[in-house]
Amino acid sequence: MFQRIFGLFGGKGAAEAGTSGGARSAQTWTSAHQGTFRASFAEPNLTEAERQLVESFSDLYYRKIDNFRGLHTIVLSWMGYEMFKCPLDLWVYQEIIVRERPDLIIEVGTYKGGSALYLASVCDLAGHGEIITIDIDPTHDPVRPRHPRISYLTGSSTADDVVAKVTEVAADKQKILVILDGDHRCEHVLQELRIYRRFVAPGGYMVVEDTNINGHPTYPEFGPGPWEAVDLFLAEDNEFYADRSCERFLLTMNPRGFLRRR
C-alpha cells in the first residue's frame, strides 16, 4: 500500500524528509525549511455507489451536530478558539497556503476568530502572509484572538466602506486568497463573488464555504445558498472554475466551492 502511494507521488519528498528531519531541533526551525512536496492532485473519480456513500456520510456528519448533547462534528477549536469547519477542509487550506504563499487572506465571516487564528498560524509556519477578517457582528470581539498577522474589520462584506478598506489593504499585495464564510444566502454570496473576484490573481483561489447546504447534500431546508450562488457566478464568469481536486479527501463542507482563477 505505502509503496503504491510513494510510487505514485515520487520519492523525492519522502527521501528529503528522511535525511533532514531528525537532526534539527525546534530552535533551528524556520520557514526556509519548508518542504518541496508538490504533487498535483486529481478530482475524485467516484462510481455512483461511492458518490452516494460520500454524500450520505457528509449529510450524517453535518446533521449530527448537537451542541446540547456535546456532539460537535463541525464545531472545532484551534489553540482554544472556536470555529465551524470540517478538519479536512482545514488541511486543504494549509496546503493551499504553503503552496501559493498568499500575501493576504481576506476572510468574510470572523465569528469568534478561530478560523482566522488557524490561517494566521499556518502563515506563521510558512513565514508569510497576513489576514483581514470581516464580520458584521462585533459581539464576539472581546473573545477573538489578538495576533500580529490578523486585522479585524467590522461591517458588511458588501458595504462600500468595507470594500474600500479591503481595497486599501490589498493595494500592495500580489497574491490574495479569498474565503467567503459570512451570510450564506444566495443573493448575498453572489454579490460577494462579484465584488471579491477582483482581488484574486490568475491561479489564485476564492473559496465559497458551506456549498454543502440546501441539499448538497445536507440541510435541504436552507433555501438557495452558496451552491446556487456558485452556479450563477460560474455561468457569468468564465475566468473562474471549481477546482475539484481540493475535494480529494471526499468529505468537505465546500463541494464545488474551491474556485480558482484561470
Ligand X SMILES: C[S@@+](CC[C@H](N)C(=O)[O-])C[C@H]1O[C@@H](n2cnc3c(N)ncnc32)[C@H](O)[C@@H]1O
The footprint of ligand X (CB under 6 A) covers 83-85, 108-111, 114-115, 134-137, 156-157, 181-183
- Give the pairing of strands 81-84 and 150-154: unpaired
Q: How many CA atoms lie within 13 A of 87 on its CB side?
A: 6
Task: Report the C-alpha gap between 10 and 245 in whole angstroms.
Answer: 19
- Tell me whether residue 210 or residue 228 sits nearer to ligand X (CB atom): 210
CB of 195 to ligand X, least distance (A): 11
- Tell me whether residue 51 or residue 94 sits nearer to ligand X (CB atom): 94
**Closest residue (Cβ) to ligand X?**
83
Q: Using only the alpha carbons of the chain, give its radius of gyration.
A: 19
Task: Report the C-alpha gap between 84 and 116 in whole angstroms.
Answer: 11
CB of 198 to ligand X, least distance (A): 17
CB of 200 to ligand X, least distance (A): 18
Q: Which residue has the cell 456535546?
A: 70
- Tell me whether residue 58 or residue 133 sits nearer to ligand X (CB atom): 133
- Tell me whether residue 58 or residue 110 sits nearer to ligand X (CB atom): 110
- Tell me whether residue 16 or residue 137 sits nearer to ligand X (CB atom): 137
> 133: closest CA among 172, 103, 95, 178?
178
Peptide bond into 224 cis (omega under 30): no
- 113 — alpha (psi -120 to 50), left (phi > 0) or beta? left
- Tell me whether residue 112 or residue 260 sits nearer to ligand X (CB atom): 112
Burial (Cβ within 10 Å: 0-12, 13-18, ≥19) of residue 145: middle
- Give the pairing of strands 150-154 and 130-135: parallel
CB of 134 to ligand X, least distance (A): 5
CB of 119 to ligand X, least distance (A): 10
Task: Provide the residue type at 66 as one letter.
Answer: D
CB of 88 to ligand X, least distance (A): 14
